[in-house]
Amino acid sequence: MTDNQPQPESASEPQSSGISGGRVVTWVLIAALAAVTGVEALARTSYNGTLQALDDLNIDSSDNGIELSEIDRHVSGWTSRETSKNGQIVIRWISLLKDYKVTLHPESNQAGRISGFETSEAGDYEIEAPSLPEGIPAGLPPDPSGMGTSSGGGPAGGLAPPPPPSGK
């Protein structure tokens, strides 16, 4: 009889800890990207919500402006506020990639009242569609095969069928 018992592993071989350094780095990067995305999403939605609320207040149509406390109730999100020497109040949303800000203009000779506001250029931009250079026709070229499409291949708009064979 032969004794075929497995050899015990030597105690000098290192055992893995279960989590590799590469996996830790990957998860740290994923968490950092998720945090940046979350901060940006919060800043963007808060900024847009505040702009909509300020538009709804219709500050420009008011003769004596609007109380600053009324505007404060409509500002949402994680913001910082600065007041300049000329009395303008700049509200900035905390963001890592863009500068979201609204500048409130004070009513002249009336403390605590706002006569209007202007925004930063962080809004949606309309991107003009690219155009072709002059001389190149727009649109898709015709189907070269003319077969198997709805615009060709039949007697209504494609190639004529070949003539029947002659002679037999």
Average pLDDT value over all residues in the chain: 78
Reported as a single tens digit per residue, the pLDDT across 118-139 is 887 655 445 466 676 777 777 7
Local confidence band at 10 (pLDDT 50, 70, 90 cut-offs):
low
Alpha-carbon distance of 36 to 59, in angstroms, equals: 33
Question: Can you give the pLDDT at residue 148?
Answer: 53
- Do 42 and 77 touch, CB atoms closer than 8 A? yes
- Sign of the alpha-carbon dihedral angle for 10, 12, 17, 19: negative
- Do 92 and 79 touch, CB atoms closer than 8 A? yes
- SS3 letters for 10-57? CCCCCCCCCCCHHHHHHHHHHHHHHHHHHHHHHHHHHHHHHHHHHHHH
Question: Can you give the pLDDT at residue 155?
Answer: 53
Amino acid at 74: H
Question: Can you give the pLDDT at residue 38?
Answer: 92
Question: Can you give the pLDDT at residue 157?
Answer: 54
Reported as a single tens digit per residue, the pLDDT across 16-39 is 667 888 889 999 999 999 999 999
Whether pTM exceeds 0.75: no
Question: Can you give the pLDDT at residue 136?
Answer: 73
Q: Where do the domains of the chain lie? A: 24-119
Of 119, 116, 118, 117, the residue nearest 62 (C-alpha)? 116
Comparing 9 with 37, which gets the higher pLDDT? Answer: 37
For tokens 């070229």, the residue is 141
Question: Can you give the pLDDT at residue 32?
Answer: 93
Question: Can you give the pLDDT at residue 19?
Answer: 81
Alpha-carbon distance of 146 to 159, in angstroms, equals: 7
Question: Can you give the pLDDT at residue 11?
Answer: 55
Residue 65 CB neighbour total at 10 angstroms: 21
User: Which range among 76-90, 104-118, 131-145 has the greatest average pLDDT?
Assistant: 76-90
Question: Can you give the pLDDT at residue 125?
Answer: 46
pLDDT at 61 over 50: yes
To the nearest whole percent, how much of the chain has pLDDT over 70? 70
